[in-house]
Amino acid sequence: MAEFKYDIDQIDAFLKGKMQGEELNAFKAYMQIEEAFSKEVELQKDLLISLNAHFNKELKQKLIQSDKSGAKAINKKLIPNYIKFGFAASVILFLFFGYFFLFQSIDNTAIYTEFYKPYPNIVSPQVRGVENIQTDILQYYEIADYNTAIILLEKELEKNDAPLAYRFYYGLSLMEIGKTDQAIVVLNQVAESGDAKFKDPAQWYLGLIYLKQNDLKKAENIFESIAKSDNSYKKRAGELLEQLN
C-alpha cells in the first residue's frame, strides 16, 4: 500500500461511520487533495460491500443472536482482516499490471520515436507548375500545415481522377494531426494499390500507427509482412521487429 496519512484501520473506521467531528472533516479534506488515496478508499468500500453481500442469511441470523461482545469482535477483527487481505491483493495486482502496461507503453513510444520520420514530398518539382493545384497542396504538407492540406486534399479526392499521391499524403496528414482511425482507412487504400512508390511507405506508416496505439499484434503482422517482402522498408521493419521482441 502506498504511504498515506491514514492507515487501513482509519479507512475502515471512516467506511463504518465511526469517524466524527474534526477527524472526519480532516479525512474528507485529505481525500479531496489526494486522488490516489480517494481511489483506495473507494476500492476498500467496494470490497467491504462485496464481503457483506456474501454473508448468507443463516450467518447473519447467528450474528444477530450472538451477544453484543461477540458481534463486536467479529466486526472489529474478522472483517478488517479480510478487507486488508483483499485490499492488499488488489493493490498488488494494480501495481503489477500498471507497471507492465505503463513500461510497455513507454518502450513502444521510444521505438516509435526512433523509427518515425515524416515522409517527404517526393513529387518531382518538374511536374509541379504554377498552375498545378498539387503545388499548393503539397507545399502546405511540406510546411506541416496539415489542416490546410487536408481541406485541399479532400476537395481533390472528390474527383474520380484524383492521383494516388493525393490519397497518400491525405492519409499522412491525418496521421500527423492525430486522426489515426481515419488515417488507417486511407493508408490501407493506398497500401492495396499496385504503385510501390506509395504502397511501400503506406504499409510502413500503417505499422507505425498501430505501434503508437499499442496494438502490437497488428503492428507486428504488418512489419513481419514488410520484412518478408520486397518492400523498400524491409530492412527497417526487421530492425524494428528485433526491438519489439
| Domain ranges in the chain with CATH number 1.25.40.10 | 116-244
Summary mean pLDDT of the chain: 76
> Higher-confidence residue: 197 or 8?
197
- Give the SS3 label for residue 36: helix
Range 116-244: architecture per CATH:
Alpha Horseshoe (1.25)
Per-residue model confidence as pLDDT tens digits over 130-171: 344 455 678 899 899 999 999 999 999 998 888 999 999 999
N- to C-terminal Cα separation, the chain? 33
Rounded CA-CA distance 224/234 in Å is 9
Task: Grade residue 119 by pLDDT with cuts at 50, 70 and 90.
Answer: very high
pLDDT in tens, 199-212: 999 999 999 999 99
**116 burial type by CB count under 10 A (0-12 exposed, 13-18 middle, 19+ buried):** middle
DSSP result, 102-154: HHHHHHHHHHHHHH--PPP--S-GGG--TT-HHHHHHHHHHTT-HHHHHHHHH
